[in-house]
Amino acid sequence: MPLVDEGAEAVSLGNSSVSNEHVNIEPVAIDPEKKVSSLTNPIDKDSPKIVLATLNARFFHTSFGLRYLYANLKELQSSCEIKEFIIQTRAIDIVEQILESKPDIVGFGVYIWNIVESTDVVNLLKVIAPEITVILGGPEVSYETEDQAIVKCADYVLTGPADLSFYQLCKDLINNTPPDKKVVHSKPVELKELALPYEYYTDEDLTHRLLYVEASRGCPFKCEFCLSSLDKTSVPFEITVFLDEMEILYQRGARNFKFIDRTFNLNINTTMHIMQFFLDRMTDDLYLHFEVVPDHLPRKLKELLAQFPEGSLQFEIGIQTFNVEVQKNISRKQNNAKSKDNLIWLKDNTSAHIHADLIFGLPGETFETFKDSFNQLYHCRPHEIQMGILKRLKGSPIIRHTESFDLRFNPLPPFNILSTDRVSFSTMQRINRFARYWDMIGNSGRFKYSLPHILSVEPFDDFMAITEWIFNKTGQIHKINLKKLFELISQAVEALYPEKHELVITKIEEDYEAAKLKSLFSSLNLYALKDNANAVETVAKNKSLKRQQQHMS
């Protein structure tokens, strides 16, 4: 399945039977300068105050998990407030805004993307206000819990799905019957017991932010790099209840839905039901994002998908590797031939935006086998190839291969693989640079006219050469402005593939015009210097002469 992302992990800290009675909550307060949003209720002054907080990767994201916790707080909900921040905000500013609410209990959602910043916030909060009870939850603290720095400074940790256990812990604390252990293991949750969180998306959320939704939880597949491999199966929410909630969101104006189901097209009848629901309500601005199993697209689903208009669908499709031995190593079952056929069919017969994933650094993967997977995937023509680097998610079974494949992971977030028995650190760095440049060039859509003429039947080798030429020239993988990037690509093609350069320049001009930059195309330096050594010497001489002239004058 695709790599774990923010939405997919968000439920871990974070439905009692569904209620149609909507609580009167104030609109979310958004400060565009501080990038913080707050969902508040009229506060019950007689009850201890609870703040639910997390640091999102970007303001555009919403915390699905916190809304689940809030939805299931029952009588404590009137004493609770949600505060969402972004990881770029200073810890001291976050603490200040949390303390403004005068909380007695603060619950933090902790994930791989915010562990460093959350640790800083919790440390600072406990120094300034040690009387506040801090509760942690989320996937990043659900495994290998005791050894983590953030856990050492918190009061309690809830592991696993905390939708219901957070309420119970707060009740115990309020009643002065706290648990006798710091780490509390959440029990498995029956979906029918949960109050759904969708009514707690505010009007501002619907207008400005991404809405996460889930029609099911869990995953039946056992891909060892993913935390979902720990699930026994995929469990659906009752379809009529779920679609009733989607109807309410839709009527309120929601048009941007990101499904976090790990295997959205697992149960085709349910998939058809949901897709038809949205097709019947199609508008120009409706946008749906799904994670799709690549080798499971029966004819009736294909016929339905072909009816969706351009701009309405995005499919995230986890390929990860086409190498059969590597697939066996990570317990991944995938029909490679059918997966490729379906990718090509989707590109040719639907208007869906196709985002396909590969992972480098899997046990048994080599530079050559990864190159082969990239080339095969490229020729399936997805709109984007997301090149992920293997990460050590705490609790994921991938760690069983640590010794046998000499897996060496970064001890610091994001815990990325640094080397294996078959991939050296220097090779890993080359792939990291390849992935970064591919994101800027291949995935950006900025070079859709020129890139197909630069890459040949061996696109990996061609783009690796481009990557190394640009990096050797600039030493940069970040902060390259778009105009400069056009120049560098043209210069690299001239240096590496001179026979293509004349045609590529005409295609780069089309891409440049489409980018609508202010400067003229004719102002670009599209040619590499013929003799770089002489050029450097000439520049140095000119600078020296200029200094001398300034002194003389």
d(CA 501, CA 524): 15
Q: What is the CATH number of domain 214-423?
A: 3.80.30.20
Q: How far is CA 264 from CA 113, 217, 275, 291, 301, in A?
A: 24, 10, 11, 6, 12
Q: Is residue 296 exposed (0-12), middle (13-18) or buried (19+ Cβ within 10 Å)?
A: middle
- Strand order of the β-sheet with 313-320 is 211-213, 256-259, 287-292, 313-320, 353-360, 384-389
Domain map (residue ranges) of the chain: 6-192, 214-423, 424-527
What are the structure tokens assigned to 540, written together?
């140095």
CA 166 to the chain's CA centroid: 25
The residue whose two tokens read 């989607």 is 246
Structure confidence at residue 451 (pLDDT): 98
The residue whose two tokens read 């910043």 is 117
Domain 6-192 shares a fold with domain 214-423:
no
From first to last of its 553 residues, the chain has per-residue pLDDT tens of: 333 333 433 334 433 222 222 223 333 444 434 456 666 655 455 679 999 999 999 999 999 999 999 999 999 999 999 999 999 999 999 999 999 999 999 999 999 999 999 999 999 999 999 999 999 999 999 999 999 999 999 999 999 999 999 999 999 999 999 999 999 999 999 999 999 999 999 999 999 899 999 999 999 999 999 999 999 899 999 999 999 999 999 999 999 999 999 989 999 999 999 999 999 999 999 999 999 999 999 999 999 999 999 999 999 999 999 999 999 999 999 999 999 999 999 999 999 999 999 999 999 999 999 999 999 999 999 999 999 999 999 999 999 999 999 999 999 999 999 999 999 999 999 999 999 999 999 999 999 999 999 999 999 999 999 999 999 999 999 999 999 999 999 999 999 999 999 999 999 999 999 999 999 999 999 998 654 444 445 444 444 544 445 544 4
Structure confidence at residue 411 (pLDDT): 95
* 6-192 is classed CATH 3.40.50.280: yes
d(CA 442, CA 439): 6
Q: Any idea how long the chain is?
A: 553
User: pTM of the predicted model, to two decimals?
Assistant: 0.87
- What phi, psi does 38 have (nearest 5°)? -140, 125
What are the structure tokens assigned to 2, written together?
């695709």
Spatial contact of 367 and 395, defined as CB atoms under 8 Å apart: no
The residues, ordered by sequence, that sit 6+ positions from 163 with a Cβ below 8 Å of its Cβ are 11, 14, 15, 68, 69, 72, 189, 194
Spatial contact of 249 and 207, defined as CB atoms under 8 Å apart: no
